[in-house]
Every structure is written in structure tokens, then in C-alpha cells.
Structure 1
Amino acid sequence: MKKVNNEIPIKYIIFTLTGICLVMIICSFAFNGFASPVKNAVSFVVSPATKGMNKLGFYMINKKEDYEKFKSIKEENESLKKQIADMQNDNALSVQDQNELEQLRKLYKLDNEYMDYETVGARIISKDTSNWYSTFTIDKGSDDGIEENMNVIGDGGLVGIVYEVQKNYSLVRSIIDDESNVSAQFAQTSDKCIVKGSLKLMNDGVIQVFNINKDAQINEGDMIVTSNISSRFLPGILIGYVKDITNDSNNLTKSALLTPVVDFAHLDIVLIIKEQKNTGEE
């Protein structure tokens, strides 16, 4: 059986009390004899109610003003957040543009240094999972005239060599890769050597140099370039600078470390030299 709700809604009580107050107010002005007791009754009932309504009104006004202020502050805060985000984004783009411009300047300078060779610019689109650009993919392929064993330069010197070519992209092995061996020589003395990649040593910013003649008159800081007898690399391309020269235990050769001129942690754009030597193993 459905339970009957006998409670009177609060809105009806408020309407009733309001009506009684209005009737008493009218009577107080309409009947003089009735005025005094009615006015007293009205004052007793209406005055607290009026004060309460005034307080409620002021409270609601203040709350509305507080809400409007909060809403305004929130909107202003959101606007400031957007402005900060836009500024950070613009700043990031500006830094990126500056870095790319610097790389392009270096490539332009490098292109002028090797102006006897035909070159084509390429952007790196992916790399291996290590911290270094030991092997990576460029956005130029056979459709752009790229072939295997073409030399890759950038950032001031030798980057590596193209070892696989597809229609729209190619793979490059850099000189720091563990499988890389470059026939090289000292620029000042023409003494020959081999520059071998080592990702482990690259954590200290160097790679290996070995098979240096024990009588070679070489010094710390000497420049090493690609050798004229290399079967895959064009001659005279800067590789880096030698350090920590030591005599080998066989007393026939010397070894050293080499600091590459190229920053293999931050590569983006490279140049491919389209002229190449005959393919062969070094």
C-alpha cells in the first residue's frame, strides 16, 4: 500500500506567511483603531523577516559578485596559460629554426670546401636505438640518384657512407659504428692509418686510430683526413683530431684516439657526395 506523504511543502508555508504579512500591513494602514496592535504585530513579525531578507539579499549579491570575480579570474588564468603555451611553442620553434639554420650554414661552408664534388642534401628521418647516429636513414634514394658507397658529410667533416639504397630512402653507416673502418692519413705528414668506429669509446667522445707507423712524426692535435688510397672514401675529407698517441707492444706501430669533428649526437641534415670511388673492401 502506497504511503501518503502528509508533510506540507516548504514553499507553501513561505507563501502563506508572506500573505499574512501583507494582509497585516494593509490592515494597519486601513484601520486606525486597529493600527497600533497590528503595527506592533507587523513590526514584530516583519522587522526580523525584513532584516533576514536584507541579509539574504546582500549575501546573494556578494556571492554573485564573488562568482563573477572567480569566473573572470579563471578566464584570465586560462588566457594566461594559453599565452604562456604559445610563447613556449614559439620559443621552441625559434630554437629549432636557429639550430637548423646553423646546420645549413655549416653544410653551405662544407659544400664550398668540397665544391669540386656534386652533392645533394638529405634529411635524417630515423636512426638506430643508441644515443648516437651510428646508423640512420635519410630521405633520399635511388630516385634521387643515390647509390651505395657514396660518401656522406656534414657538420664539418666525414659522417659515413651509404650502405643500402631503396627507391625513396637510403641507409647510412657512420664512422663511429663498430663495423666501420676508414683508410685515413695525417694531413700534415701523409702517414697512413686506420680509423675504426667504437660506440663504447664514443661514450667518451672518441674512436680508435691504429696501424700508424712507429716512425711517424705526429703530435697531439694533428688533423686526420681520408686517405688517397682508400677504395671507398674520397681523399682529403676531414675526420677529426688525434690524441693520446701510444707505442704498440709490437714496437712496429702506434695507436691513438681520435675526436671526430662531427657531433654524432646531434645530426639532422647531411650532404651526399654523388661522385664515388670503385666499390671495394678496405
Structure 2
Amino acid sequence: MKDVFHSTGFKIMVAVVFAMLCLMLYTAGAGDSATGKLFGFITIPMQRISTIVANNAAVSAESAARSKEELEAENRSLRRQVDELNKKLVNYYSAQQENAQLRKFLELKNNNQDFKPVAAAVIGRDPNDLFGQFTIDQGSQAGISVNDPVVTEAGVVGWVSSLNSSYSKVTTILSPETKISAMDRVNRETGVVGCDIRAADRSLLHLNYLSAGTAVKAGELVVTSGIGGLYPRNLIIGTVKDVKNSSYDVSLYAEVKPAVDVKSVRDVLVITAFQGQGQALGTASSGASGTASSAGGTP
């Protein structure tokens, strides 16, 4: 407050007001003379200006007189408002993303009436894991079991390898543990989709055990065959990139680019039940069912 009265601007304002008062007194003493009228013509606008200046100075002095506590309280109030708006914005975007994801999952469910799906979100991921294993926010309480297939609307992601009541670990299709009975969608030639460290490093899969005269070509879709009872039939796995000779026998294999980038997926669908689930496991020979279960999809 003291700084306002000692400022140069305030002193100039006082001087202007004093000069105006002197002119007003002189004008009053001049009566109706021509000189008085002339001074009145000059001083009246200046009086108006001086009034405006005085009013503005009063407002400025009032603002300067506001306490530090009042300013801090106002600042805290504004910050609370900003925080509330940010929370609403986050909730809006989260709801928007969730709705978009649920619409895609609903379409998948409508196309596969036998599916019993559980929607889940990825909540944990090891960035150093070459095979892209991750954790989802649903477990046995949601009806999920070990070996349940995990997918998105785009295709196969992997399978549930372990779980507790609230969370599940998902082993992806890039893991050497994963084996999926599959077929070429065009020629219906069957094989087993798997992966190894070198292929996983390139984010590729192998459709193994193709015959020497295979008709599989680059650009064709590879889908699940349903054999083994661990994956529903006709889920997209990926697209053939190339066909090569196997290093271990006379057969051929196809390099397959996965339909889903398992290392960046955020929302998934766990299929807890489907038509034909586990049927082959009940009729498998001794030892074969154990291999199928541990592999998460061996035919």
C-alpha cells in the first residue's frame, strides 16, 4: 500500500489533480466573462479525465491492498478447478477408448455366438522380455482359466499361462512355448504355428511342417484350425511373408507376420468358453494332452 503512494505515477496524478483545482477556482472567479467561458471549455474535459484517473487509481490501490493470504487462497481455488477439469478430461478419454474397444469386441462376439469372452486391460509388461509376455487385470474371479486363448478383434495374441483371483499372465504367440494348430486360409493346408528366439527377435512366426509341394504363398492369411481344442477355429494369426526350406528336414515352413503387435497391445479379450473347447484333450493319447496343455495350443 505504501509503495502505491510513493510511486512516481501517484505523484504525477496528484500534481495533475492540483492543477485542475487551481483552474476550476480561477474559472469560478471569472463569472460569465468570455475568459471564464474559454477556461470552462478547456477545463471541463480535463475534469472528466481527472475523475477517471482518480477512479482508476482507487481501484489499483484496492487491488494492491489485497493480502497475500487472499491471493494464495484464490490461487489454491483455481488449482483445484484445474485439477477437477483434468480429471474429467482423463475420464472422458478413458471412456471414449473403452467404448471404442467394447464396440470392436461386441462385433467379434456377434460373429462368434459360441464365445464366452472376458474383456481385460494390460497392466504390466516386462520391456526386457523378448517374447512380449504381459499381465492383465482379470483372473479366476472373472471365470478365466489356464490355457484360455487371448485375442483382440484383429487376431490371436496368446494364452493364459498362469493366474490368481485378480490377475493373469499371458504368454504370447512369439514365445517358443506357444504351438497353435493352423491352416492357410486360401489352400487350407495345415501346419503348426510356432516361434523361436531368432524369429521372435524379428517379430515373426513360423507355419511349420508344410509339404514340399505346398501351394502356400506370400500374402495369404493363416488362421487357427481348431484342432486340439485350445483355440477356436478361424481366428486370424497373421499373413504369410515368405516360404522357405526347413533346416531340420525336407519340409517347408512359411514366415508369418502376426496380425497383432503383441508387444504394444493394450486391451484384450480372453475367451473362457467356445464350441469344441477341450474336446481333443479328452481323446488324446497318454502324454499328448499334457503336452498340449503346457504348450498352449499344440494340436
- TM-score normalised by L of structure 1: 0.63
Query: Displacement of 1:121 after TM fit?
Result: 1.3
Cα deviations across residues 27-67 of structure 1 (Å, max 9, x unaligned)?
A: xxxxxxxxxxxxxxxxxxxxxxxxxxxx9892399887535
Q: Distance in 2 between matches of 1:241 and 1:209?
A: 10
Query: Displacement of 1:180 after TM fit?
Result: 1.5
Q: Distance in 1 between matches of 2:216 and 2:81?
A: 58
* Corresponding position: 1:59 with 2:6: yes
Query: Displacement of 1:125 after TM fit?
Result: 6.3
Residue 100 (structure 1) aligned to one of 92, 98, 101:
98
Q: Distance in 2 between matches of 1:164 and 1:200?
A: 25
Cα deviations across residues 112-146 of structure 1 (Å, max 9, x unaligned)?
A: 122133x03142464342377524244231x5544
Query: Displacement of 1:200 after TM fit?
Result: 6.8
- TM-score normalised by L of structure 2: 0.60
Cα deviations across residues 66-115 of structure 1 (Å, max 9, x unaligned)?
A: 35398877666655554444443333222222221121111111111221
| Partner in structure 2 of residue 123 of structure 1 | 120
1:264-279 pair list within 5 angstroms: 264-275=263-274, 276-277=277-278, 278-279=280-281
Q: Distance in 1 between matches of 2:202 and 2:65?
A: 60
Q: Distance in 2 between matches of 1:138 and 1:161?
A: 14
Larger Rg: 1
Query: Displacement of 1:197 after TM fit?
Result: 4.0
Residue 172 (structure 2) aligned to one of 158, 174, 180:
174
Which SS does the other structure have where 2:89 is aligned? helix
Q: Distance in 1 between matches of 2:165 and 2:206?
A: 34
| Partner in structure 1 of residue 145 of structure 2 | 147
Residue 114 (structure 1) aligned to one of 112, 115, 120:
112
Q: What is the letter of the counterpart of residue 184 of structure 1?
A: A
| Partner in structure 2 of residue 26 of structure 1 | none
1:245-260 pair list within 5 angstroms: 245-248=243-246, 252-260=251-259
Q: Between the two proteins, what is the percent identity of the paired residues?
A: 22
C-alpha contact 1:156 1:262 (8 A) present in aligned 2: no
Q: What is the letter of the counterpart of residue 215 of structure 2?
A: Q
Query: Displacement of 1:214 after TM fit?
Result: 3.4
Query: Displacement of 1:258 after TM fit?
Result: 1.7
Query: Displacement of 1:189 after TM fit?
Result: 0.9
C-alpha contact 2:4 2:61 (8 A) present in aligned 1: no
Q: Distance in 2 between matches of 1:255 and 1:268?
A: 28
Root mean square deviation, CA, Å: 3.7
* Corresponding position: 1:134 with 2:133: yes
Q: Which runs of 5+ in 1 are unaligned?
A: 1-54
Q: Distance in 2 between matches of 1:167 and 1:267?
A: 20
Q: Which runs of 5+ in 2 are unaligned?
A: 8-57, 282-288, 293-297
C-alpha contact 2:133 2:169 (8 A) present in aligned 1: no
1:1-282 pair list within 5 angstroms: 58-59=5-6, 65-68=63-66, 81-117=79-115, 119-124=116-121, 126-130=123-127, 134-141=133-140, 144-197=142-195, 205-230=203-228, 232-248=230-246, 252-261=251-260, 264-275=263-274, 276-277=277-278, 278-279=280-281, 280=289, 281=292, 282=298
Q: Distance in 2 between matches of 1:253 and 1:162?
A: 30
